[in-house]
Amino acid sequence: MREVRLSLFGFGNVGRALARVLVGKGSIFRERYGLEFKVVSIADTSAVVWLPEGIDLREALMVKENFGMLSSWTNEYEVYSFTPEEAVREIDADVVIDVTNDKNAHTWHLAALRDGKAVATSNKPPLAFHYAELMREAERRDLPYLFEATVMAGTPIITLLREGLKGDTVEMIEAVLNATTTFILSRMESGLDFEGALKEAQALGIAERDPSGDVLGIDAGYKATILHCLAFHPVTFNDAHVKGIVEVTPEDVKRARERGRTLRLVAMVEDGNVRVEPREVPLDGPLAVESHENAAVIKTDLLGELVIKGAGAGLKETASGVVSDIIKAALKV
Amino acid sequence: MREVRLSLFGFGNVGRALARVLVGKGSIFRERYGLEFKVVSIADTSAVVWLPEGIDLREALMVKENFGMLSSWTNEYEVYSFTPEEAVREIDADVVIDVTNDKNAHTWHLAALRDGKAVATSNKPPLAFHYAELMREAERRDLPYLFEATVMAGTPIITLLREGLKGDTVEMIEAVLNATTTFILSRMESGLDFEGALKEAQALGIAERDPSGDVLGIDAGYKATILHCLAFHPVTFNDAHVKGIVEVTPEDVKRARERGRTLRLVAMVEDGNVRVEPREVPLDGPLAVESHENAAVIKTDLLGELVIKGAGAGLKETASGVVSDIIKAALKV
């Protein structure tokens, strides 16, 4: 049995789902991989809890769920007010896990790598803006830098592109990568206008209070940028052409239906070209996904067309990708 | 640049497709991975050609295509009549590649591993009957034993199960894994009976002269057995329940259609249970594949339902899987 020390940043919905998987499947991971995970720190926006002997995750979940923030924790645990960069430097760990939304997280991802720590992240902006720099640092230090959950939640499109197509040359990827816009466009097919469909999505917790990241296509644009970096060469989100769904009218939706098609926010990724925009897709084709499903069609020189389809959102679905990365990192470090 | 010596067994359609990829994409593999592949031996059923300095693949392709067998090669190359086991022992190589149909190939796969050589294979029976023994030997010697092309050609379902779902627990796999039966069942929908559809498949070169491997469900059964070994625990083909499509009548096919369904040869893989049989699948579902497409629906505890769909047959599509394995093996050895 090998003990692997985890330093967890982010204890919102995804962070807690991850903690629940680590608690619930701990014995399976011990048996399957000979790995014993010990969470030595948990950070939310209020504080960093740090205990080198390992934090009781059940207690951490209880505190967070009852009091809303880790700074309220007042038993034997040490509570600190580190910045993430300070925390990365101070806390001894094997794998740093980022499930935050911190747009500047690349700074402490780099700090973690320079400090000899592997990184597993579901946080997109670091990859969408600093892919080349992060991968260079990881390669130089021969450390895992893993990000399965940044695209299509735990549906393993990243592993597929990184490990599954070594001999193929990717020619194009077309994908539906954002579930919130799929929900809104589906509801517009039932007659709602954009505003009405958005309000319903917000009421159901599918869209956020500030929905701009989803409806302006930024989230899909981040993901498409990451796919381009993997399939072709590093670019940044600034190179992407992104158009959201805010200008889609009920008439557009109706017209698509009349042609046996449906509107989806589609990402198109070709060598040197990242484009996200609402497009009509055939109703019986792979991109006519529903609900929280995402899909990608990958075209390559040898294989032709390959489709991968699965959950693109959800808490345990996202935790699936993060925990897969943690296990991979742990098996290497 | 690192030189990697390959010893190729099998120079039929797949072996030659592989040779063409190695010739055509050699410069890409040098640039992308820093790997220079040198084929030091090629074996067909007639002979083994062995040249430690590296065989000219273009010339080998020409000889095979013009004379039908390698034993006709009469220039500076040395032509031997080794058995595969002797060849594996005699010939210095880093990766042994098996693209034969040799049912007893596990013996020389094991010999290769014991001799410190990695193995990449598209040959199913060794896996379907000796998975546990082969993996044990590979793990003991820390050598890659890779078999992407055994299931769904190069569509990377093996990589996905081995590398992409580390944190998930697979609950069930349902899949269409044999393209010949899909062709026959599709043609029966157009009114042909089984015999007529089979003859057409044979005339088009889709079914073999002895079609029993496909139509009795043996090929799909081998593949389903391999998926069980990966997703659950090692079993052998002898544990599988396999029923082919020879008893399917035009009436069965018609009845399915009337219900908005279609008949496919479906593999169902659950913990301790491998079952292959003709089943009705919904026309708008992921298993209603056409032509040479295969599809698998993988159900897991965290991700829910995941679909992977792509080529399940074809020469360069199969070569894709083998070459991906060769690159992975080369990067490790």
Chain B residue with Cα closest to A148: B164
Query: With contacts defined as CB-CB under 8 Å, which chain B residues touch A302?
Result: 21, 154, 316-317, 319-320, 323
- How near does any CA of chain A get to the CA of B287, in Å? 12
**Residue A82 burial (10 A CB sphere; 0-12, 13-18, 19+):** middle
Q: Check A156 against B165: CB less than 8 A apart.
A: yes
Q: Could you say which of A25, A103, A117, A223 is catalytic?
A: A223
Q: What pLDDT does B333 receive?
A: 84
Q: Is A270 annotated as a binding residue?
A: no
| Closest-CA residue of chain B to A313 | B303
Q: Is B310 labelled as part of a ligand binding site?
A: no
CA distance A323 to A18: 7
Write out pLDDT tens, residues A268-284. Answer: 999 999 999 999 999 99
Residue A272: its pLDDT value, please? Answer: 98
CB contact under 8 A, A328 and B304: no
Interface residues on B facing A, Cβ-Cβ cutoff 8 A: 21, 25, 28-29, 33, 148, 153-156, 159-160, 163-169, 284, 286, 300, 302-311, 314, 316-317, 319-320, 323-324, 326-328
Q: Is A164 annotated as a binding residue?
A: no
Catalytic position from the list B64, B103, B199, B223: B223
Q: How many interchain CB pairs under 8 A, A with B?
A: 141
Nearest-neighbour CA in chain B from A301: distance (Å): 9
Q: How far is CA B114 from CA B53, B89, B110, B141, in A?
A: 24, 10, 6, 8
How large is the angle between the packed helices B315-332 and B13-24, nearest 10 degrees? 60
CA gap B223, B226 in Å, rounded: 5
Contact check, Cβ <8 Å, B324/A168? yes
Q: Is A266 annotated as ligand-binding? A: no
Examine the residue annotation and report whether A223 is marked as an active-site residue of this protein: yes
**Structural fold of domain A162-311:** Dihydrodipicolinate Reductase; domain 2 (3.30.360)
How crowded is residue A160: how many other Cβ atoms within 10 Å of its Cβ? 25
| Nearest by CB: B327 against A154, A167, A300 | A167
Helix (H) or strand (E) holding B191: none
Question: Per-residue pLDDT for A75 more than 70?
Answer: no
Q: Cβ–Cβ of A166/B28 closer than 8 Å?
A: no
Cβ A128 vs Cβ A225: under 8 Å: yes
ipTM entry: 0.96
pLDDT band of B73, cuts 50, 70, 90? confident
Average pLDDT value for residue range A181-206 = 94
Instruction: Tell me if A324 and B167 make a contact (CB, 8 A cut-off).
Output: yes
- Give B84 to chain A, closest Cα distance, Å: 26
Extract the tokens encoding B318.
């199969």
Sheet with A293-300, edge to edge strand ranges: A241-242, A273-282, A261-270, A170-176, A293-300, A304-311, B304-311, B293-300, B170-176, B261-270, B273-282, B241-242
Q: What integer best gives the mean pLDDT of chain A?
A: 96
CA distance B116 to chain A (A): 22
In the structure, what pLDDT confidence band is assigned to residue B75 with cuts at 50, 70 and 90?
A: low
Report domain extents, chain B.
2-153+315-332, 162-311
The number of C-alpha atoms within 13 Å of B322 and in the hemisphere containing its C-beta is: 31
Q: Residue B88, annotated ligand binder? A: no
Residue A77 has what pLDDT?
A: 73
pLDDT in tens, A309-320: 999 999 999 999
| Structure confidence by residue, pLDDT tens digits, B233-278 | 999 999 999 999 999 999 999 999 999 999 999 999 999 999 999 9
Q: How many residues does chain B have?
A: 333
Contact yes or no for B194/B249 (Cβ under 8 A): yes
Average pLDDT over residues B16-40: 98
Question: Tokens standing for A171?
Answer: 């020619």
Distance, CA of B16 to CA of B38 (rounded, Å): 15
User: Which chain B residue has the Cα nearest residue A231?
Assistant: B32
DSSP B234: -
Angle, vertex CA B125, rays to CA B120 and CA B131, nearest 5: 70
The pLDDT tens digits of the residues spanning B193-233 come to 999 999 999 999 899 999 999 999 999 999 999 999 999 99
How does residue B97 score in pLDDT terms, banded at 50, 70 and 90? very high
Q: Kindly state the average pLDDT of the residues A110-130.
A: 98
- Chain B residue closest to A298 (CA)? B310
Q: Evaluate whether the domain defined by B2-153+315-332 bears CATH number 3.40.50.720.
A: yes
